[in-house]
Amino acid sequence: MRILILIIQFPPDTNSTGRLMAQVGAGLATHGHAVTVITTFPHYARFRIWEEYQGRLAQMDYAQGMRILRLWVYASGTKQRMLQRLVSYLSFNALATVAALLTHCDYDVMLCPNGSFFTGIAAFIAGRPWRIPFIYNLQDLYPDVPVKAGQLRSRPAIAALERMERFMYDTAQHITVITPAFRSSLINKGIPERKISVIPNFVDTDFIRPLPRQNAFSARHGLDDKFVITHAGNLGYVYDLETMLEAAALLADRRDIQFLIVGEGVAKPDLQRRAQALQVRNVLFLPFQPQADLPWLRATSDVQVSLYKPGAASDSMPSKVYEIMASGRPLLASADRGSDIWHHVQATQCGICIEPGNAAELAKNIETLYNDAALRDSLAHNGRHYAEHSYSRPVVVAQYHQLLSTFMR
């Protein structure tokens, strides 16, 4: 079967959805499918195309059994506001549409993650002349996420994006969502139940695995003798890292507790200014780390966090939750009661979930985990067990293989 994946970020870019889809594509290739990816030149971490790719319109690569066509994309090189991000999305989808049209004979079905708003429209235009169906993969609910994060306030813009999103729901042959709450949200919007499948995200449990707490990464950053609380990933507006900084201030007298914030994103400058204003010396900011260091970064952490602002967790299920589980470390999450994250933590017993925005409660639970090694071990064991048996790459790739195979022409 000939499968096209349309996605704006793809390795070596550091975006988590890109890494997940790379593993899906590689897994589908091992099932005997011919997989092509249309994506961009790497640009995600610092909003600019990597130097070695600059000055090119397109380039073909091959990796892990996949053919990868990389395209130019608008990347401003500065902190991206919503308008700049939309222009970036439009530039990719315009070029991706042309590229897909020029290679139409190669595909039986298209798989389109919705990380760039308009990917479903590109797939519809490219596939319509030859009746190539597309599967719309929802990693987030748009435009709900930027609206709730306060990034998008214009009512006309919100209405326009809602119409576009509904168009993509209606024209997709099938829709995959990553949580049951996403499925319920679409059904409430009038999308037929038969058109929606829940396929969760996953983690490579061979790559992310329990490793020694003291290692080269922890030594390099002076963390061997610290109790480390880590956020690792995108520093976006939906994450409640301001509360993490306030909890750090509350625990400033516990000199062996160290807070680690690893990543890049639009919220990082504001977070750094807030940390300076709070005069917290127990917070260390690091940039995105090389992919090879990720297992050691997670091993260095005694507790890992996934903290959402009020209302934001209802529209997302971060893939880093599965990485934390696979790493054999407890999760401390903040999310609205009743959200998928809340239910997930309760069902798997992989960590502790609290409601957002409460620095005192966050600090209290950090102290609980600090003082109770047996509790940490139990939560970590549960997380690793569920990661291996329910959220590993072979388990989830098999679900994609089964669904995509129904579209073989």
Identify whether 174 is part of a domain.
yes
60 by Cβ neighbours in 10 Å (0-12 / 13-18 / 19+) ranks as exposed
Question: With a cut of 70, which residues of the chain have pLDDT below it?
Answer: 79-80, 104-105, 145, 148-151, 315, 409
- How many domains, in total, are found in the chain? 2
Could you tell me if 19 and 8 are in contact, meaning their C-beta atoms sit under 8 angstroms apart? no
Identify whether 132 is part of a domain.
yes
184 and 282 both lie in a single domain: no
Integer CA distances (angstroms), 347 to 85, 262, 318, 340, 386, in order: 36, 28, 16, 10, 10
Q: Which helix (H) or strand (E) holds 134?
A: strand 134-138
The per-residue pLDDT for 311 is 81
310 and 331 both lie in a single domain: yes
298 and 193 both lie in a single domain: no
181 and 281 both lie in a single domain: no
Q: How far is CA 159 from the centre of its chain?
A: 25
The per-residue pLDDT for 167 is 96
Look up the domain containing 61 and give its range: 2-202+392-405
- Dihedral of the alpha carbons of 367, 371, 377, 383, in degrees to the nearest 10: -10
Identify whether 385 is part of a domain.
yes
Identify whether 220 is part of a domain.
yes
Identify whether 163 is part of a domain.
yes
Q: Which two structure tokens, joined as six digits, stand for 23?
A: 């593993």
Give the CATH number of the domain where residue 158 resides: 3.40.50.2000
Could you tell me if 311 and 380 are in contact, meaning their C-beta atoms sit under 8 angstroms apart? no
Q: What DSSP letter does each residue of 21-81 carry, written as one string?
A: HHHHHHHHHHTT-EEEEEEE-S-TTTTS--GGGTT-SEEEEEETTEEEEEE-----SSPPP
87 and 155 both lie in a single domain: yes
Q: How far apart are CA 82 and CA 70, in angstroms?
A: 23
46 and 166 both lie in a single domain: yes
Rg (CA), the chain: 21
Per-residue pLDDT of 285-311, as tens digits, reads: 999 999 899 999 999 999 999 999 988
The per-residue pLDDT for 104 is 67
Task: Look at the pTM and tell me if it is higher than 0.75.
Answer: yes
The per-residue pLDDT for 149 is 62
User: What does the DSSP 8-state code read for residue 289?
Assistant: P
71 by Cβ neighbours in 10 Å (0-12 / 13-18 / 19+) ranks as buried
